[in-house]
């Protein structure tokens, strides 16, 4: 049967999903619909011609925990993840709590936030900082890619045509210092965010991950290495070096305006000086 008119399909197995997708290659995946219906205020909504609704695929709603990982199905609503409580890494919870209002969080899914076509959304920041892995699946096979590569410019890690995100795998790792800061620009739809994570072992900073999300993901690994291995509390000089390194890193990034750069540097200063005497 061909689709002469608009149609919505509700597959309940992956076989069904991929067979419909094969018949209608321009079909669009529909999760919570909040991004697909973004900025539509009229009575009649405009939807893609063929919709593949993921709601009946039970596996995509599953959340499981192993000794080392939390695995979250891509159809998990943002509010459900928040309500899982302490098992969810704090950076992710803080980020999700800052996304829109409760009504939207009850509809929007983590998969939709990660896969938005229009813009880089907030969950990409904590998921990159936490070293999350994404499972991508097509009709024949599945593969794991890191959040860092997925959200970066690595084309091999980008989602392919007729491929979907099925699971997010998060290492269950406790962070001794965790901060999440969201910057609200005039255009509320292009927020920026910073995640600052640090771990301490025997009074030494053993791991540091700082990720900035604007229209792309920025991770200044040289900066992180200035702090790694340093004793706490940090000396004033080390903190100054770190801030200077970020200033230098940001100086070369033309895509970010001066105001946002200043906002970011202030926030980095605040967090790194929290680790000094
Ligand atoms: C008023 C408002 C305020 C908002 N504020 C914020 C904010 O502050 N921060 C923020 O981060 N976001 C914000 N958003 C965006 C919101 O978080 C996203 O719309 C939402 O997360 C998308 O999830 P969804 O399930 O509704 O996705 P959908 O709209 O269903 O899908 C989004 C896109 O992802 C694709 N997709 C969905 N699931 C999958 C999958 N499993 N595999 C592959 N592709 C998939 C769809 O085809 C579509 O292209 C806001 C949105 C609104 C309307």
Q: What is the mean pLDDT of each run of 10 residues along the chain (277 residues)?
A: 76 98 96 89 85 98 96 98 97 97 97 92 97 98 96 87 97 95 81 96 96 95 96 97 97 93 97 94
Out of 55, 115, 151, 187, mutate this one to test ligand 1's pocket (max ligand atoms within 8 Å of CB): namely: 115
How far does the chain reach from its first CA to its final CA, in angstroms? 71
Cis check: omega of the bond before 277, within 30 degrees of 0: no
| Residues whose CB falls within 8 Å of the CB of residue 191, separated by 6 or more in sequence, listed in order | 122, 182, 183, 184, 185
> Is residue 190 classed as helix, strand or coil in its secondary structure?
helix
Pick the residue whose CA is nearest to atom 48 on ligand 1. Answer: 116
Which of 24, 233, 277 lies closest to 8 in space, CA to CA? 24
The pLDDT assigned to 47 comes to 87
The pLDDT assigned to 269 comes to 97
- H helices present in the chain, as ranges: 14-23, 78-83, 90-97, 102-107, 110-115, 124-129, 147-151, 221-227, 236-251, 258-273
For residue 79 and ligand 1, the question of a CB distance below 6 A is answered with: no
C-alpha 230 – ligand 1 centre gap (Å): 40
The pLDDT assigned to 4 comes to 60
C-alpha 164 – ligand 1 centre gap (Å): 14
Q: Which atom of ligand 1 is nearest to the CA of 113?
A: 21
For residue 121 and ligand 1, the question of a CB distance below 6 A is answered with: yes
Q: Which atom of ligand 1 is nearest to the CA of 159?
A: 43
Angle of CA points 219, 125, 272, to nearest 5°: 60
For residue 124 and ligand 1, the question of a CB distance below 6 A is answered with: no
């Amino acid at each position: 049967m061909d689709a002469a008119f608009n149609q919505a399909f509700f597959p309940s197995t992956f076989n069904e999903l991929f067979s419909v997708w094969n018949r209608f290659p321009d079909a669009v995946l529909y999760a919570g619909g909040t991004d697909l219906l973004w900025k539509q205020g009229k009575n009649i909504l405009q939807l893609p011609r063929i919709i593949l609704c993921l709601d009946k695929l039970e596996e995509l709603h599953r959340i499981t925990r192993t000794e080392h990982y939390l695995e979250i199905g891509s159809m998990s609503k943002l509010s459900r993840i928040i309500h899982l409580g302490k098992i969810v890494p704090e950076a992710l919870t803080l980020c999700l709590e800052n996304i829109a209002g409760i009504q939207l969080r009850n509809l929007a899914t983590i998969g939709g936030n990660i896969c938005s076509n229009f813009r880089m959304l907030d969950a990409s920041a904590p998921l990159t900082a936490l070293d999350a892995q994404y499972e991508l699946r097509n009709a024949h096979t599945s593969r794991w890619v890191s959040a860092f590569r997925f959200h970066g410019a690595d084309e091999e890690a980008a989602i392919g045509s007729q491929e979907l995100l099925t699971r997010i795998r998060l290492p269950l790792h406790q962070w001794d210092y965790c901060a999440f800061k969201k910057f609200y620009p005039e255009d509320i739809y292009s927020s920026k965010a910073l995640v600052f994570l640090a771990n301490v072992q025997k009074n030494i900073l053993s791991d540091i991950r700082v990720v900035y999300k604007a229209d792309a993901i920025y991770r200044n690994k040289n900066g992180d290495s200035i702090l790694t291995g340093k004793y706490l509390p940090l000396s004033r000089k080390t903190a100054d070096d770190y801030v200077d390194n970020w200033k230098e890193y940001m100086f070369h990034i033309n895509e970010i305006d001066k105001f946002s750069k200043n906002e970011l540097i202030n926030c980095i200063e605040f967090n790194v000086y929290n680790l000094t005497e």
